[in-house]
Amino acid sequence: MARYLDVHPANPQPRLLAQAAQVIRDGGMIAYPTDSGFALGCRMGDKDALDRIKRLRRLDDKHHFTLMVSEFAHLGHWVEMDNWEFRAIKAATPGPYTFILRATRDLPKAMLHPKKKTVGVRIPQHVTALALLEELGEPLTTSSLILPDEEDPMTDGWTIADSLGHEVDLVLDSGDVGVGPTTVVDFTGEQVRIARHGSGDPSPFEE
């Protein structure tokens, strides 16, 4: 059964964040709150944990996993951006957006789209998610906690612990989760494409 950790929304307790980060380092998969619903998270490049996320969400190999980072400055190590992309993404972060970009060679292959060599990246505007990233000390591989046949992420930590307690290793809850999925902006084609309309305003990326 999954462990359930209830943290303060404004000042998440460091000892509880440390416990969640250790579960991730040990190869676990957690559910944690963001500004766009709950997400599933695991250590970057952990193929076994990624396979668990795929099974839970029934995802195929075409799904873009997302690299969650705490600061815009960290993106350059993992993805390629031209000047326009750099400016547009910086202006929209942090916030409820996922950006699909070309990955650098430093990113583990297990995370990449198998044919396109692309990946999603995201900077949340959520205290607990950012505090977890700070405690972990590295990016987090993540995917919205959207169950099969559903369109929106789960938003209640107790419900997740009760219904998915045998699927995830830990539920981190702060009671202030955002509602609705991220807006997904794909920069990898000839033109910018809104791959999913969600919580973020798509207008800055539309012609």
Given a cut of 80, whether residue 207 has pLDDT beyond it is no
What pLDDT digit, counting tens, does each position of 31-69 carry? 999 999 999 999 998 999 999 999 999 998 778 899 999
Extended strands (E) in 30-166: 30-34, 37-43, 66-68, 79-80, 97-103, 118-122, 140-144
Alpha carbon distance 187, 17 (integer Å): 33
Q: Could you tell me the CA-to-CA distances from 25 to 58, 136, 144, 151, 170 in Å, in that order? A: 24, 8, 20, 30, 13
Alpha carbon distance 207, 77 (integer Å): 28
Domain count, the chain: 1
Whether the Cβ atoms of residue 148 and residue 58 lie closer than 8 Å to each other: yes
What pLDDT digit, counting tens, does each position of 110-135 carry? 888 878 899 999 999 999 999 999 99
CATH number, domain of 53, equals 3.90.870.10
pLDDT of residue 175: 95
Alpha carbon distance 42, 141 (integer Å): 5
> Which residues constitute the domain of residue 69?
3-205
Whether the upstream peptide bond of residue 148 has omega within 30° of 0, thus cis, is no
Q: Which of 48, 54, 6 is nearest to 161 (CA)?
A: 6
User: Kind and range of the H or E element at 196?
Assistant: strand 193-196
Given a cut of 90, whether residue 79 has pLDDT beyond it is yes
200 token code pair: 């973020």
